[in-house]
């Protein structure tokens, strides 16, 4: 009889289970995937340090399985398509649904319909379609026939029947959720058939927080926060807006008299009251938001620190490597980038505009307009230049650029060395990462027969 292999010790299993850096670097992750995997890794490391080896092993295994699932999902997106639109008189921009282009089109009878990557129709012909969205990897859109509106899912079926009015579908906890109005009453409707908020005068901006649907609800002339179980928040304010989930707390902006302040579900208020506040978000584990102070907009964090007051204008705060970063313009009209520690990038270059601020492999990269468009890194170095730049993306830690040459009118993808890595197209709608420094684009080609939507695989 063959001898049984000796059973590995828990320590040996742990050594094999720990993810290797090269395994992780090969898989491009979205910010949400990075956060999710980061939480698993933090728990695994903490369990191992505490001597809970079996728990650590289970968490490392969960991390690797999730990484494998993401990698397999990316591999599924590696197919190419061509959709011929010559039989349609008009079309909207395609929407990327898990690597497959889905398009709203208008036929020769001026009826509106939605088709998938195979050219197959989703649902029926409608008087109008709009708001095509990706809901957890499934298509969903608004449609109208006669005086009735509805939401159509990926199977071409109506979600919840017909309504007098529907607002665009949202992805809340992986299910289709939307605001509908019927017989003069507005409410939130889920694809599981649940109606929420009928007791209020109006509802708005549903969010999925702590496993529940929260939303803004109007009572008379005031807005408050409510959830699907009837819990209410923010009633002490004259008005509330911008419902968010920050630092594990429901966070919002509330109005007191003529001023606004940021507050959370525990009654905590952050900073001072300003003429106006907006865009609360989490950066590096801290609450950050914009506020209007006098005639100027500034950025404020949860400790009351203010950024950008000395500049003529600032953009919304963004996060790169856990730090606040924002675009700014001085009183001479120069546009540049400012980091949380006050470092100014490109201020002496005379840029007319800065845009597309990205975190690429942990470093700051952005585009800037002068005599032409440049790609600029955090050292202020101009690493590429083109007549027009559409967007820049992180593809396996490398910079990929959607660009156009002067007078040509066509678009292509180039790498940071300036080499074109795709053919030229009349329009490029999206550039998304795959594995092994590959990516896919969804683009439009127009010839004498009409438009074609194509999906192509390229290597950066």
- The residue with greater pLDDT, 426 or 295, is 426
**Pairing label, strands 353-360, 344-345:** unpaired
Tokens at 146, concatenated: 């006669």
Quick check: 81 and 100 in contact, CB under 8 A? yes
**Candidate ranges 28-42, 208-222, 419-433; pick with highest mean pLDDT:** 419-433
Question: Rounded mean pLDDT of 92-116?
Answer: 95
pLDDT above 90 covers a percentage of the chain that reads: 65
- The residue with greater pLDDT, 221 or 379, is 379
pLDDT of residue 29: 73
**What separation in angstroms does the CA of 159 have from each of 118, 146, 154, 190, 381?**
23, 17, 10, 8, 51
Quick check: 417 and 423 in contact, CB under 8 A? no
CA dihedral of 65, 67, 71, 77, whole degrees rounded to 10: 100
DSSP secondary structure letters along 250-299:
EEEEEEETTEEEEEETTS-EEEEEESEEEEEEEETTEEEEEEEETTEEEE
Question: Rounded mean pLDDT of 170-194?
Answer: 92
- The residue with greater pLDDT, 46 or 35, is 46
pLDDT of residue 6: 58
Interatomic CA distance for residues 300 and 175, integer angstroms: 34
- Contacts of 297-302 with CB under 8 Å at 24 or more apart are 299/324, 299/326, 300/270, 300/271, 300/274, 302/270, 302/271
Q: How confident is the model at residue 75 (pLDDT cuts 50, 70, 90)?
A: low
131, pLDDT greater than 90: yes
Q: How confident is the model at residue 38 (pLDDT cuts 50, 70, 90)?
A: confident
Q: How confident is the model at residue 24 (pLDDT cuts 50, 70, 90)?
A: low
pLDDT in tens, 394-435: 998 899 999 999 778 899 999 999 899 999 999 999 999 988
- The residue with greater pLDDT, 3 or 121, is 121
Q: Which residues contact 30 (CB under 8 A, 6 or more apart)?
A: none
Quick check: 90 and 105 in contact, CB under 8 A? yes
Candidates 43, 66, 54; CA nearest to 14 is 54
The 10 Å Cβ neighbour count of residue 252 is 25
pLDDT of residue 74: 65
DSSP secondary structure letters along 168-236:
PPEEETTEEEEEEEETTEEEEEETTS-EE-TTSSEEEEEEEETTEEEEEEEETTEEEEEETT--EE-TT
Q: How confident is the model at residue 391 (pLDDT cuts 50, 70, 90)?
A: very high
pLDDT in tens, 229-253: 989 999 999 999 989 999 889 999 9
- The residue with greater pLDDT, 352 or 32, is 352
**What separation in angstroms does the CA of 8 have from each of 13, 15, 16, 124, 347?**
6, 11, 10, 59, 59
Average pLDDT, the chain: 90
Total residues found in the chain within this entry? 460
Candidates 336, 310, 249, 259; CA nearest to 299 is 310
pLDDT above 70 covers a percentage of the chain that reads: 95
């Amino acid at each position: 009889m063959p001898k049984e292999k000796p059973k590995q010790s828990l320590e040996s299993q742990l050594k094999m289970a720990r993810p290797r850096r090269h395994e992780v670097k090969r898989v491009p992750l979205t910010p949400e995937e990075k956060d999710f995997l980061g939480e698993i890794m933090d728990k695994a490391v903490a369990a191992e340090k505490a001597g809970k080896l079996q728990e650590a092993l289970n968490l490392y295994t969960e991390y690797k399985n999730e990484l494998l699932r993401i990698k397999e999902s990316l591999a599924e997106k590696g197919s190419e398509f061509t959709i011929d639109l010559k039989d349609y008189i008009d079309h909207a921009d395609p929407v990327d649904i898990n690597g497959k282009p889905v398009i709203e089109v208008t036929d020769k009878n001026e009826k509106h319909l939605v088709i998938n990557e195979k050219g197959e129709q989703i649902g029926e012909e409608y008087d109008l379609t709009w708001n095509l969205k990706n809901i957890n990897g499934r298509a969903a859109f608004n449609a109208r026939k006669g005086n009735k509106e509805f939401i159509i899912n990926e199977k071409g079926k109506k979600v919840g029947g017909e309504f007098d009015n529907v607002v665009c579908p949202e992805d809340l906890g992986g299910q289709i959720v939307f605001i509908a109005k019927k017989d003069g009453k507005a409410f939130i409707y889920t694809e599981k058939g649940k109606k929420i908020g009928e007791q209020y005068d109006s509802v708005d901006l549903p969010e999925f927080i702590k496993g529940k649907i929260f939303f803004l609800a109007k009572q008379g002339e005031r807005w408050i926060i409510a959830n699907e179980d009837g819990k209410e928040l923010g009633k002490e304010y004259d008005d509330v807006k911008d419902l968010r989930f920050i630092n594990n707390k429901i966070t919002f902006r509330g109005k007191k008299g003529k001023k606004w302040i940021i507050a959370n579900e525990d009654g905590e208020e952050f900073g001072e009251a300003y003429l106006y506040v907006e865009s609360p978000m989490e950066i590096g584990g801290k609450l950050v938001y914009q506020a209007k102070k006098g005639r100027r907009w500034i950025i404020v964090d949860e400790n009351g620190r203010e950024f950008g007051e000395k500049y003529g204008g600032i953009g919304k705060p963004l996060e790169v490597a856990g730090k606040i970063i924002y675009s700014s313009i001085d009183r001479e009209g120069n546009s540049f980038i400012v980091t949380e520690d006050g470092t100014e990038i490109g201020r002496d270059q005379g840029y007319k505009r800065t845009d597309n601020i990205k975190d690429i492999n942990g470093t700051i990269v952005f585009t800037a307009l002068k005599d032409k468009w440049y790609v600029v890194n955090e050292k202020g170095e101009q690493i590429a230049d083109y007549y027009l730049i559409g967007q820049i993306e992180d593809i396996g830690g490398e910079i990929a650029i959607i660009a156009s040459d002067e007078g040509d009118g066509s678009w292509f993808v180039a790498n940071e060395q300036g080499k074109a890595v795709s053919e030229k197209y009349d329009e490029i709608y999206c550039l998304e990462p795959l594995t092994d420094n590959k990516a896919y684009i969804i683009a439009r080609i127009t010839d004498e027969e009409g438009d074609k939507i194509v999906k192509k695989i390229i290597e950066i």
